[in-house]
Amino acid sequence: MATIASLRVGLEADTNKFRGQMEKATAGVKRFAAAAGAVAVAGGALIKAGLDSADEIQKLSLRTGVGVEALSALKHAAELSDVSLSQLERGFGQLNRSLGEAEQGTAAQSDAFKALGIDIKKLKSLAPEQQFGLISDRLNALNDEAQAAAIGNDIFGGSYRKLLPLIKSGSAGMQEAADQAAKLGLVLSEDNANAAAEANDALTTLSNTASALGRAFAIDLAPAISNALSALTERLPGIIAAIKAAF
């Protein structure tokens, strides 16, 4: 027993010495690897974030009918007004519904556009972002805030209150933000947005394929893993008894 104890002490000493030497020898490599890994992760995250942003703009353009370039510029204006893209999407959706209802003669929406001095046919000839700018200017020109709120709610529904900071900036403020977005390189072309959306979709497909492969691999290995664990469980009492007998 004394001999075993001595061997254990010697082994632990040698192990600790070896561990210390290895840690000292590999410290520089570990620091370099950690730095390189951090750069790679940060770079990958930055690329993915860029693809996600462009993909979001491209798909939102399809849903709202607003062009990619105009929408990416308007996104900057909206963010400066603390208006999210989802709120902007709901606002455009409600505006489209209100235009349709006004065309069909629905009183509330027809009266709302008339109160702003806007002809429905002329308004529909404009691009969606131009429609939004014109309506914003006419609402801002009203002296009665209560009247503006009532008309705004008839046109934009429940989205009006959340869109109000952007509406208050008017078409001039939105254009100023769009010019700034162009200078900052925030405005996307339709081709670039489509390319980013395709790349992002390809990454999603790759991720889903990898998940399916991992799941299939795990399922194939499941019986072997189960058998190995069962065998280990059966032998565990004998292993424990042997260890106790040795010490």
Q: 137 Cβ partners below 8 Å, 6+ apart? A: 170, 171
| Rounded distance between C-alpha atoms, residue 108 and residue 94, angstroms | 14
DSSP string, 53-91: HHHHHHHHHHHH---HHHHHHHHHHHHHTT--HHHHHHH
Structure tokens at 234: 């059966």
pLDDT of residue 117: 95
Q: pTM of the predicted model, to two decimals?
A: 0.63
Contact 135, 116 (CB under 8 A): yes
Q: How confident is the model at residue 19 (pLDDT cuts 50, 70, 90)?
A: low
What pLDDT, in 10s, does the model give residues 140-189?
999 999 999 999 999 999 999 999 999 999 999 999 999 999 999 988 87
Question: Which has the higher per-residue pLDDT, 119 or 243?
Answer: 119
Residues 22-35: b if buried by 16+ CB within 10 A, e if exposed:
eeeeeeeeeeeeee
Contact 94, 135 (CB under 8 A): no
| Rounded distance between C-alpha atoms, residue 187 and residue 76, angstroms | 9
What pLDDT, in 10s, does the model give residues 74-100?
999 999 999 999 999 999 999 999 999
42, pLDDT greater than 90 = no
pLDDT of residue 44: 59
